């Protein structure tokens, strides 16, 4: 099945839209091939502001109808407690909110951007998608991440080379409580490193300590800005260290 054939079968659909590579291409294809589509972006404590900015920009460029929903995911006990299956409870809350909003808007079909490269066995959140009958057309059509990037580039989408960016909650180790302060500190720290030119990095947090993971090729840049980085991050963390096991 091609993506065009999918939308011939499902001409009216709601899309769970994150502004990332996959959902961006899915929205592009839906605008091109579907009869009616609406994108739903869920703004929670787990998403940095730039993700919403990218989502709004792409929807504007595509002329797509988009609704922003606000959700306090930390109000879900099995999310804030950060168990090993946190992602399941988080996805369940997010997609339940989208399902409710989309239903009120007259949509009975909800799509997400899961692709054929995603390992279902390694993603507890996929169980929530199955329980809520969410369809994943990119996966059903056999489109892998690399193919989606290529198709996105050909379509002129600015997201085609956007780095993968897991939600802010992934910076906090399993079992440690997730708080608004920890998430805010992570976003501020990563925004600061982005401003210095770093890419494909993470600022991990554990009990108030920061551990930087940067590609090997950017360690020189890290040392060049060492004093400034320490001064900025120690406003929010007790200590700042470099994880030398990470290779780029």
**Per-residue tens of pLDDT for the chain, all 248 residues:** 999 999 999 999 999 999 999 999 999 999 999 999 999 999 999 999 999 999 999 999 999 999 999 999 999 999 999 999 999 999 999 999 999 999 999 999 999 999 998 766 556 778 888 899 999 999 999 999 999 999 999 999 999 999 888 899 999 999 999 999 999 999 999 999 999 999 989 999 999 999 999 999 999 999 999 999 999 999 999 999 999 886 54
- Cβ neighbours of 206 (radius 10 Å): 13
Rounded Cα distance, 152 and 136, in Å:
17
Rounded Cα distance, 26 and 47, in Å:
20
With b for 16 or more beta-carbon neighbours within 10 A and e for fewer, the 17-43 pattern comes to: bbbbbbbbbbbbbbbebbeebbbbbbe
Q: What's the pTM?
A: 0.91
Number of H helices, E strands in the chain: 11, 7
Q: Which of 30, 44, 36, 15 is nearest to 102 (CA)?
A: 15
What's CA 229's distance to the chain center, in Å?
25
**Annotation: CATH topology of 179-242:** Alpha-Beta Plaits (3.30.70)
Opening angle at CA 167, ends 32 and 54, nearest 5: 40
Q: Give me the architecture of the 3-161 domain, per CATH.
A: 3-Layer(aba) Sandwich (3.40)
How is residue 224 written in tokens? 């060049």
What residues does CATH 3.40.50.620 cover in the chain? 3-161
Rounded Cα distance, 126 and 134, in Å:
9
β-strands 209-213, 202-206: how paired?
A: antiparallel
Rounded Cα distance, 193 and 188, in Å:
9
Whole-Å CA distances, 6 to 50, 78, 219 = 30, 35, 45
* Helix/strand/coil for 164: coil
What residues does CATH 3.30.70 cover in the chain? 179-242
Rounded Cα distance, 109 and 140, in Å:
15
110 beta partners: 14
């Amino acid at each position: 099945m091609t993506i065009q054939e999918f939308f011939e079968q499902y001409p009216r659909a709601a899309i769970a839209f994150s502004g990332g590579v996959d959902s961006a291409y899915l929205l592009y294809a839906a605008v091109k091939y579907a009869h009616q589509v609406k994108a739903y972006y869920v703004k929670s404590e787990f998403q940095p502001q730039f993700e919403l900015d990218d989502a709004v920009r792409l929807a504007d460029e595509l002329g797509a109808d988009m609704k922003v929903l606000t959700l306090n995911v930390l109000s879900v006990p099995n999310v804030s407690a950060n168990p090993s299956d946190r992602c399941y409870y988080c996805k369940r809350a997010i997609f339940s909110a989208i399902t409710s909003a989309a239903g009120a808007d007259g949509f009975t079909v909800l799509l997400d951007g899961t692709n054929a490269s995603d390992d279902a066995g390694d993603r507890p959140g996929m169980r929530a998608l199955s329980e809520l009958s969410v369809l994943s057309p990119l996966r059903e059509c056999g489109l892998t991440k690399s193919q989606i990037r290529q198709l996105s580039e050909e379509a002129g989408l600015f997201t085609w080379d956007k780095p993968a960016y897991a939600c802010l909650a992934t910076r906090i180790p399993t079992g440690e409580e997730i708080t608004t302060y920890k998430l805010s500190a992570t976003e501020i720290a990563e925004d600061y490193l982005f401003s210095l030119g770093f890419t494909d990095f993470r600022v991990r947090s554990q009990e108030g300590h920061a551990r930087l993971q940067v590609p090997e090729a950017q360690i020189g840049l890290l040392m060049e800005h060492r004093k400034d980085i320490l001064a900025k991050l120690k406003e929010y963390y007790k200590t700042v260290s470099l994880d030398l096991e990470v290779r780029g």
